[in-house]
């Protein structure tokens, strides 16, 4: 019954969530404003609640719901067009688009595959070495391309080939280990680097006005590397413990040489892409020295790719995740909308006393937030939507507690991936397809719990860096 289409558009479930969201918004429009909040703020809250309900029910695509929320906020005079779409005039959106373009070029030209094969060729042909190779290769590649889907589209078939070459049967324990190493490296560890996933830029854009500046490539790496390192180490330990075959014999990796040989010499487009990539990375890392913003650097890199026809008009339209870009542009204005509508101040005044025990102890905050978000992942299919809600909602409390809102935002950013290794994640399903169903869900689901434990430990290890960078 749930899957039956109503009006050829919605399932019964979607229709129920659609109506529930509209009702919730209407209620906030007609009831007496809460003490300390004006009618404008009530309309913003009502439409935000509507969006939450729609995201939970997957009524529309994430970006469509975001468009509806923002359009209705403007139409009901809850806010202004300039306020809602302030992100489109800021730096966040103008680094996301060119970074996605650069990542698409790396994938399109074959340079990304060449780099991955070059890294993997440095490791021996046994389970222990190859799983470590996939983890390390994924972490290095994370700095180059912000799309998990693009990265796993390259890595998943390689993992399947490695697994088959090493004699591991489909759905076997060591095959699950190879898959897990590939997924944890290329799919889950993106927040290690600012450019590892577009969600990093989204999270920064969600922070209130005055708290978005200063997060360049090195600054981000400085406050995030303990989490990324812990995830890398614990992932490898868990894979070794859960999936290592009884006979871990070294096999020939001649096929890797064959794969690299098949690529031939670097093409013109690969060379240009490589130059652009190196140029961007060098300028991003040295931003504090030359003062050229990351957005400008990325735009220049994209201009080079477009001007040299490495990316033509068709590729530019087809290979950039415009839906994700639109969602980022719409959602990252929420922090400003909430602030100008008086919601940020109202929330901090009304609820801060009750949440003080949570935000006053960073250890409690980390553990409680990870557990809460892990539970909420059962209700929210969209990782980005859940991160958006948690970051916007927690920012006022963090500020009152004397903490930079980046901290709860980063906790949400990494924790929404906690059920990456399950049917609950769209990118994971894509990865399963790309690897030709080399494993079953049940064989790798335990890595979700490893990820959750690694998040808690890694985030706790980040505390000294957060203090050193003045975030708390």
Going by C-alpha positions, the residue among 330, 454, 452, 467 that lies closest to residue 392 is 330
Q: Is the pLDDT of residue 424 over 60?
A: no
pLDDT of residue 433: 67
Q: Is the pLDDT of residue 4 over 70?
A: no
What percentage of the chain carries pLDDT values higher than 90?
Answer: 31
pLDDT tens digits for 325-362? Answer: 888 777 777 878 888 888 888 887 888 777 777 888 99
pLDDT of residue 419: 65
Confidence of residue 240 (pLDDT cuts 50, 70, 90): very high
Q: Is the pLDDT of residue 263 over 90?
A: no
pLDDT of residue 1: 45
pLDDT of residue 222: 93
pLDDT tens digits for 54-107? Answer: 988 889 888 899 889 999 999 999 988 888 877 777 777 788 888 888 888 888
Mean pLDDT of the 250-258 span: 73
Domain boundaries, the chain: 1-82, 85-472
Confidence of residue 27 (pLDDT cuts 50, 70, 90): very high
Q: Is the pLDDT of residue 458 over 60?
A: yes
Mean pLDDT of the 130-136 span: 92
Look over the chain and give the mean of its residue pLDDT values, rounded to a whole number: 85
pLDDT tens digits for 176-229? Answer: 899 889 888 888 888 999 888 888 888 888 888 788 877 888 899 999 999 999
Least confident of 240-254, 263-277, 353-367: 240-254
Q: What is the pTM of this model?
A: 0.85
pLDDT tens digits for 309-324? Answer: 998 888 888 777 788 7
pLDDT of residue 72: 94
């Amino acid at each position: 019954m749930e899957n039956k289409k109503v009006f050829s558009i919605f399932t019964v479930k979607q229709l129920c969530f659609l109506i529930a969201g509209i009702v919730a918004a209407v209620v906030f429009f007609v009831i007496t404003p809460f003490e300390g909040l004006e009618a404008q703020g009530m309309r913003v809250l009502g439409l935000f609640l509507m969006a939450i309900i729609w995201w939970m029910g997957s009524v529309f695509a994430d970006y469509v719901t975001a468009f509806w929320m923002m359009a209705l906020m403007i139409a009901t005079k809850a806010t202004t067009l300039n306020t809602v779409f302030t992100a489109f005039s800021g730096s966040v959106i103008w680094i996301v688009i060119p970074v996605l373009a650069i990542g698409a070029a790396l994938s399109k030209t074959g340079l990304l595959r060449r780099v991955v094969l070059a890294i993997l060729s440095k490791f021996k042909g046994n389970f222990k070495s190859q799983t470590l190779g996939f983890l390390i290769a994924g972490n290095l590649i994370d700095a180059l391309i912000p799309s998990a889907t693009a990265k796993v589209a390259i890595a998943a078939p390689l993992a399947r080939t490695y697994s088959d070459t090493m004699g591991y049967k489909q759905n076997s324990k060591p095959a699950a280990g190879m898959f897990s190493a590939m997924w944890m490296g290329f799919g889950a560890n993106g927040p290690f680097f600012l450019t590892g996933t577009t969600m990093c830029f989204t999270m920064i854009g969600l922070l209130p006005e005055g708290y978005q500046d200063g997060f360049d490539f090195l600054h981000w790496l400085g406050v995030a590397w303990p989490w990324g390192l812990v995830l890398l180490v614990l992932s490898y330990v868990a894979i070794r413990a859960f999936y290592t075959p009884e006979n871990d014999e070294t096999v020939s990796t001649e096929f890797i040489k064959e794969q690299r040989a098949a690529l031939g010499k670097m093409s013109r487009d690969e060379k240009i892409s490589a130059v652009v990539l190196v140029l961007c990375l060098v300028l991003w890392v040295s931003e504090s020295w030359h003062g050229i913003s990351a957005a400008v650097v990325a735009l220049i890199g994209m201009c080079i790719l477009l001007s040299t026809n490495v990316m033509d008009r068709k590729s530019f339209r087809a290979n950039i995740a415009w839906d994700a870009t639109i969602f980022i542009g719409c959602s990252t204005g929420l922090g400003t909308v909430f602030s100008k509508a008086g919601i940020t101040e109202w929330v901090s005044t009304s609820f801060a006393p009750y949440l003080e025990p949570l935000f006053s102890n960073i250890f409690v905050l980390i553990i409680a937030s990870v557990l809460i978000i892990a539970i909420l992942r059962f209700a929210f299919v969209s990782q980005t939507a859940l991160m958006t809600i948690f970051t916007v909602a927690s920012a006022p409390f963090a500020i009152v507690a004397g903490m930079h809102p980046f901290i709860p935002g980063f906790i949400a950013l990494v924790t929404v991936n906690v059920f990456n290794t399950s049917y609950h994640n769209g990118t994971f399903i894509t990865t399963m397809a790309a690897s030709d169903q080399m494993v079953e869900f049940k064989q790798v689901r335990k890595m979700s719990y490893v990820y959750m434990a690694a998040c808690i430990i890694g985030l706790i290890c980040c505390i000294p860096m957060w203090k050193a960078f003045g975030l708390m």
